[in-house]
Amino acid sequence: MKLFNNQEIAAHLDVSSASEAIRAAYLDLASGAAAIQPRARIGLGDVKFSAMSSMLGSARTAAIKMYTTIDGQFRFYIGLFSLIDGAFVAMFEGDAITGIRTAATTALAAQHLARAGSRSLGLFGSGLQARAHAEAFAERDGLREVLIHSHDGKSASALSDILRRQFDLDARVVEPEEAAGADIVVLATRASEPVIKGEWLRPGSFIASIGATRPEQREIDDASLSAASRIVVDWMQQTPYETGDLLRPPRALIESKPMVDLSSVIGANEYRNANAADIVIYKAVGIALQDAAVAWLAYTRLTS
């Protein structure tokens, strides 16, 4: 059994390849060739332990993700098993995999759900996931502008500088109304109250909320949900039961909106019309299928 650290893993991963690995895993899920176990959490006082797992039929592998939450800080580990002989194949430090799999899945969702020709990215937040998403979308064809809003002005300015220097993008720190008016909007906060308002959204926009993953957290307001033509989630069996974005609004509002699994969108090879005027919301909490796909990708590269 091999143990790989975050530095080794990060050196062998990129967003584009991770997105394609996750696409293959979702296609497995759509065809019945993948299985997922929802996240389970236990706690003692302020210390929590969580675990979730997935099986990938095409790769003949299974992965379990385990992590602690202590003082709001996470430590991730992922174990990989062979579905041929049951062997415990590898153990990974999971921070690098977690960081890239979330952004890679959002970028994959945007390939299908954001309009072709989208030129602007509105980014709420400036932490690790905000930066990962900014860098993932920086490689999107046609993107020219990144509008950042964050309560941490220093890290937001630093992120805008990175995007200007490394990707030659028009990146700047703005008020929330301007960031929410972009073609693609990514919410990467851990807010307890909504950070966007429906009245700020542009017709035809794609809104990805990936930061509020707990029942007490919420990034999207009722008006934004009302404005959406549908809500796409990263997994129907987990996402609606974990996030305040789908638990705290009035039930009548949530039940009035078509809710679709990302695997269905990918399985149908669906793409958004370039002239679409409706608003689509993608809501993610992170699932084991994504971790398994990226862990398997890392393993094949690290051992080749």
What CATH number does the domain containing 73 carry? 3.30.1780.10
For 39, the domain range is 2-98+288-302
- What residues contact residue 213 under an 8 Å CB cut-off, 6+ apart? 190, 242, 243, 285, 286
Q: Which of 296, 260, 302 is nearest to 25 (CA)?
A: 296
Q: What is the CATH number of the domain that holds 230?
A: 3.40.50.720
Residues 111 and 87 in one domain: no
| Average pLDDT, integer, range 86-106 | 96
What is the C-alpha separation between 77 and 109, in angstroms, rounded?
A: 25
Same domain, 51 and 195: no
What percent of the chain has a predicted confidence (pLDDT) above 90? 98
> Do residues 144 and 208 share a domain?
yes
Question: How far apart (Å, rounded) are the C-alpha atoms in residues 73 and 268?
Answer: 38
Burial of 165 (0-12, 13-18, 19+ CB in 10 A): exposed
Could you report the per-residue pLDDT of 216-253, keeping only the tens digit for each? 999 999 999 999 999 999 999 999 999 999 999 999 99
For residues 131 and 210, membership in a common domain is answered with yes
Asked if 110 and 203 sit in the same domain, the reply is yes
Q: Confidence class of residue 282 from pLDDT cuts 50, 70 and 90?
A: very high
Give the pLDDT confidence score for residue 163 in this predicted structure: 97
Pair of tokens at residue 125: 């937040």
pTM of the model: 0.96
120 in the same domain as 90: no
Residue 258 has pLDDT above 80, yes or no: yes
Residue 88 and residue 133 in one domain: no
Q: 120 and 89, same structural domain?
A: no
C-alpha 102/C-alpha 135 separation (Å) is: 12
- Confidence grade of residue 277 (pLDDT, cut at 50, 70, 90): very high
Q: Identify the burial level of 7 via C-beta atoms within 10 angstroms of its C-beta, where 0-12 means exposed, 13-18 middle and 19 or more buried.
A: exposed
Residue 2: what pLDDT?
A: 86
Question: How many domains, in total, are found in the chain?
Answer: 2
Together in a domain, 229 and 292: no
Q: 177-204 pLDDT, tens per residue? A: 999 999 999 999 999 999 999 999 999 9
Among the listed residues 133, 132, 98, 124, the one whose alpha carbon sits nearest the alpha carbon of residue 6: 98
Count the alpha carbons within 13 Å of 173 in the hemisphere toward its beta carbon.
15
Residue 72 pLDDT greater than 90, yes or no: no
- Shared domain check, 209 and 172: yes
* CA distance linking residue 86 with residue 89, whole number of Å: 9
Cβ atoms within 10 A of the Cβ of 221, count?
A: 19
Residue 298, pLDDT > 80, answer yes
Q: Are residues 139 and 252 in the same domain?
A: yes
Say yes or no: 94 and 180 in one domain: no
